C-alpha cells in the first residue's frame, strides 16, 4: 500500500534540473512526486491516461511533460512503470522504508527501471540484482543479460525486446518503449541506423514537447509508402523536419 505521507522539497521550484520548465510542467512533476500511487522506492505503475485524468491535462500534454522529465533525468519511464529518481532519498529513514522498497523491487517487472534504481542507489545493489536475475529467466547471470523491457506475450513483444537490446543508452537514457513499438511497425524508418540511437530521440523529445513522436513516426512512414517516387537521402533529417511541423498543444513550443 502506498504511503499517505509524501515529504516534498520546496526547492523544486528553483531546481536546476527544471530550468526553463513552465510552472505547469513543474507542478506536473510535483504531482508525479506526491500522488497516491507513489511507493517508498519512487517506483510505481501509472498509465498516461490515468495521469491525464488525475491532473485534468490533455493526454498529449501529459506525454510531453513525461518525455521532458525523462530527458531532464528526473524520472525513468518504461511502459506503465514510472520511477521518480529523487523520491526514496527524501523519505524519513526507518525499517518500514527498506521493507517497502524491497516489496517494490520484487513487484517491478521493468529491467530498465530496476537498472536506473540500482544506478541511483548503489547501496541497494544486491537487492536489485536478485530481482534482475529473476527477470532474466532461469537464473541467467545479470552480466549476460540484455536490457529487457516490461514482460509481455507474443512475437511482437519479443521483437521489441530485441530492438531494445541493439540500442545502446546515452547518459542512461533509453529509447521510450512506445517509440520502440513504432519503429517495429515502421519497416522503412525502423531500419535506419541513426533512428535506433537514443541520442536522436533524446534530442527530439526535448525539441518537440507535447508531440506524440510514436504516432508521428508512423504517419511519416505512411507518407513514405504513399510517395515511393520521393527519395530522401537522410531519413533522420526528414523525420526531424516532420516532427518540427507536427501539431502540438496550445502553449507548448519547441
Q: State the chain's maximal CA–CA distance in angstroms.
A: 66
Query: Considering its fold, how many domains does the chain have in total?
Result: 2
pLDDT (tens, 9 = 90+) of the chain, 254 residues, equals: 445 555 667 788 888 888 888 899 999 999 999 999 999 999 999 999 999 999 999 998 898 899 888 888 899 998 899 999 988 888 777 788 889 999 999 999 998 899 889 888 888 888 899 898 888 774 444 433 444 333 333 444 444 445 555 555 656 677 887 888 889 889 899 888 889 888 899 888 888 877 888 889 999 999 999 998 888 889 999 999 999 888 765 545 44
My answer on whether 25 and 107 are in the same domain is yes
Query: Is-contact 169 152, C-beta < 8 A?
Result: no
Given 93, 111, 144, the domain boundary residue is 144
Contacts of 148 (CB under 8 A, 6+ apart): 111, 112, 135, 136, 161, 164, 165
Tell me, yes or no, if the pTM score tops 0.75.
Answer: no
Given 116, 144, 172, the domain boundary residue is 144
In the prediction, which pLDDT does 212 show? 84
My answer on whether 135 and 191 are in the same domain is no
In the prediction, which pLDDT does 172 show? 61
* CA angle 124–126–129, rounded 5-degree value: 110
Query: Is-contact 9 90, C-beta < 8 A?
Result: yes
In the prediction, which pLDDT does 67 show? 86
In the prediction, which pLDDT does 134 show? 87
Given 144, 165, 192, the domain boundary residue is 144
Sign of the torsion angle spanned by Cα atoms 78, 84, 89, 94: negative
Amino acid at each position: 500500500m502506498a504511503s499517505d505521507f509524501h515529504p516534498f522539497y520546496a526547492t523544486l521550484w528553483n531546481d536546476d534540473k527544471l530550468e526553463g520548465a513552465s510552472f505547469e510542467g513543474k507542478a506536473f512533476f510535483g504531482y508525479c512526486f506526491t500522488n497516491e500511487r507513489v511507493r517508498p522506492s519512487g517506483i510505481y505503475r501509472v498509465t498516461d491516461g490515468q495521469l491525464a485524468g488525475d491532473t485534468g491535462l490533455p493526454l498529449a500534454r501529459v506525454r510531453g511533460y513525461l518525455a521532458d522529465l525523462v530527458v531532464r533525468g528526473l524520472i525513468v519511464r518504461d511502459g506503465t512503470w514510472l520511477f521518480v529518481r529523487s523520491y526514496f532519498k527524501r523519505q524519513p529513514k526507518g525499517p518500514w522504508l527498506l521493507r517497502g522498497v524491497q516489496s517494490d523491487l520484487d513487484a517491478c517487472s521493468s529491467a530498465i527501471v530496476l537498472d536506473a534504481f540500482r544506478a541511483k542507489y548503489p547501496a541497494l545493489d544486491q537487492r536489485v540484482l536478485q530481482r534482475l536475475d529473476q527477470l532474466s529467466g532461469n537464473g541467467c547471470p545479470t552480466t549476460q543479460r540484455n536490457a529487457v523491457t516490461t514482460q509481455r506475450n507474443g512475437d511482437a513483444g519479443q521483437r521489441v525486446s530485441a530492438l531494445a537490446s541493439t540500442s545502446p543508452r546515452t547518459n542512461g537514457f533509453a529509447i521510450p518503449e512506445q517509440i520502440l513499438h513504432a519503429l517495429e511497425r515502421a519497416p522503412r524508418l525502423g531500419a535506419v541506423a541513426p533512428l535506433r540511437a537514443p541520442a536522436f530521440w533524446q534530442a527530439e523529445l526535448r525539441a518537440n514537447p507535447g508531440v506524440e513522436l510514436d504516432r508521428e513516426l508512423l504517419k511519416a512512414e505512411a507518407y513514405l509508402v504513399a510517395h515511393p517516387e520521393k527519395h530522401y537521402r537522410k531519413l533522420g533529417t526528414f523525420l526531424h523536419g516532420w516532427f518540427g511541423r507536427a501539431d502540438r498543444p496550445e502553449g507548448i513550443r519547441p
